[in-house]
Amino acid sequence: MARRVLVLVGLLVAGCASTGQVSLGEVREFADASARLGGYAELSRRYRDTYDRESPYLSPQAERVARDTDARRRAVFDDFVAIQKTLVLYMQTLSSLAGDGRYDLSGRIDDLGSGLKAMTDSGLQQRHVAAYTGMTRLLTRVITSRYQNRSVDTMVRDGNADVQTLIDAMIVLTRIYEKANENERKTVLGLFNAEIPMANRNTDRMLVTLAKVHLQNKTAEYKLIDRRYKLAQQGLTKVALGHQKMRENMDKLSSEETRHMLAGYVHDLNLIRDALSGE
Amino acid sequence: MATSSHSNPDPASDDTSPTPTSATSRQQAASPLPNQPPMPEAIVTTVTPGMPPAAADRLDVDSATRANALSTMQCVVDLADSVVCIADDLHERILQEIAGYNDRTMPDAQKALMRALTDDERLLRQYAHALYADAATFVIQDLKEPQHRLMALTAEAAEKIRRIGVIGEVTGLVGGILLLVGSIARGQFSQVGAALEKIQLHNATLKTLKPDSTANT
- The pLDDT value recorded for residue B203 is 66
Quickly state the pLDDT bin for B171 (edges 50, 70, 90): low
Highest mean pLDDT among A130-134, B24-28, B176-180: B176-180
Q: What residues of A are in contact with residue B125 (Cβ under 8 Å)? A: 62, 183-184, 186-187
Least Cα distance to A101 among A157, A151, A148 occurs for A148
Q: How confident is the model at residue B11 (pLDDT cuts 50, 70, 90)?
A: very low
> Could you tell me the pLDDT band of residue A184, with boundaries at 50, 70 and 90?
very high
Number of domains in chain A: 1
Q: End-to-end distance of chain B based on CA atoms, in angstroms?
A: 57
The share of chain A scoring above pLDDT 90, in percent, equals: 41
Question: CB-CB: which of B99, B154, B171 is closest to A105?
Answer: B171
Q: Which of A2-6, A66-70, B112-116, B192-196 has the highest mean pLDDT?
A: A66-70
Give A189's contacts in chain B (Cβ within 8 Å).
Answer: 1
Residues of chain B contacting A182 with CB distance shorter than 8 Å: 84
pLDDT digits (tens, 9 = 90+) for A35-89: 988 899 999 999 999 999 999 999 999 999 999 999 999 998 988 888 888 888 8
The Cα of A159 is separated from the nearest Cα of chain B by a number of Å equal to: 6
pLDDT tier at A117, thresholds 50, 70, 90? low
DSSP 8-state class, residue B49: T
Weakest mean pLDDT among A15-19, A52-56, A62-66, A117-121:
A15-19
Residue B206 distance to chain A (closest CA, Å): 14
| Per-residue confidence (pLDDT) for residue B157, from 0 to 100 | 75
**Rounded-to-integer distance, Cα A45 and Cα A81, Å:** 9
CA-CA distance, B164 to A143, in Å (whole number)?
Answer: 10
Using CA atoms, how far residue A55 sits from A147, A163, B123, B130, in Å, is: 57, 37, 12, 14
- A170 close to A236: Cβ distance less than 8 angstroms: yes
Domain range holding A113?
2-277
Q: Which among A196, A200, A203 has a CA at the least distance from the CA of B104?
A: A200
The reply to whether B178 touches chain A by the CB within 8 Å rule is: yes
Question: Predicted confidence band at B7 (pLDDT cuts at 50, 70, 90)?
Answer: very low
- In the predicted structure, residue A258 carries a pLDDT above the cut 80: yes
Asked if residues B86 and B2 have their Cβ atoms less than 8 Å apart, the reply is: no
* Whether A105 and B165 lie within 8 Å, measured CB to CB: no
Rounded to two decimals, the pTM is 0.68
| Cβ–Cβ contact B176 with A under 8 A | yes
Is A142 an interface residue toward B (CB < 8 Å)?
no
Residue A107 clears pLDDT 70, i.e. is over it: no
pLDDT at residue B212 greater than cutoff 90: no
- pLDDT category of residue B207 using cuts at 50, 70 and 90: low
- To test the contact with chain B by mutation, choose from A106, A112, A163 the residue with the greatest count of B C-beta atoms within 10 A, namely A112
pLDDT tens digits, residue range B24-69?
344 444 333 333 344 333 333 333 344 344 434 433 444 456 666 6
CB pair distance less than 8 Å for A69 and B129: yes
The mean pLDDT value for B71-83 works out to 84
**Percent of chain A clearing pLDDT 70 (strictly above):** 75
In chain A, positions 45-84, which contact chain B (CB-CB < 8 Å)?
A: 47, 50, 57-59, 61-62, 65-66, 68-69, 72-73, 76, 79-80, 82-83
| Contact assignment for A118 to B188 by CB distance below 8 Å | yes
Question: Cβ separation of A105 and B114 shorter than 8 Å?
Answer: no
The residue among A92, A35, A88, A240 whose CA lies nearest residue B147 is A88
Contacts of A222 (CB under 8 A, 6+ apart): A181, A185, A188, A189
How far away is chain B from the Cα of A257, in angstroms, using its nearest Cα?
A: 26
Chain A residue at shortest CA distance from B139: A169
pLDDT of residue B33: 37
Residues of B in contact with A76 (CB under 8 A): 136-137, 140
Q: Is the pLDDT of residue B132 over 70?
A: yes
Out of B122, B149, B158, name the one closest to residue A58 (CB).
Answer: B122
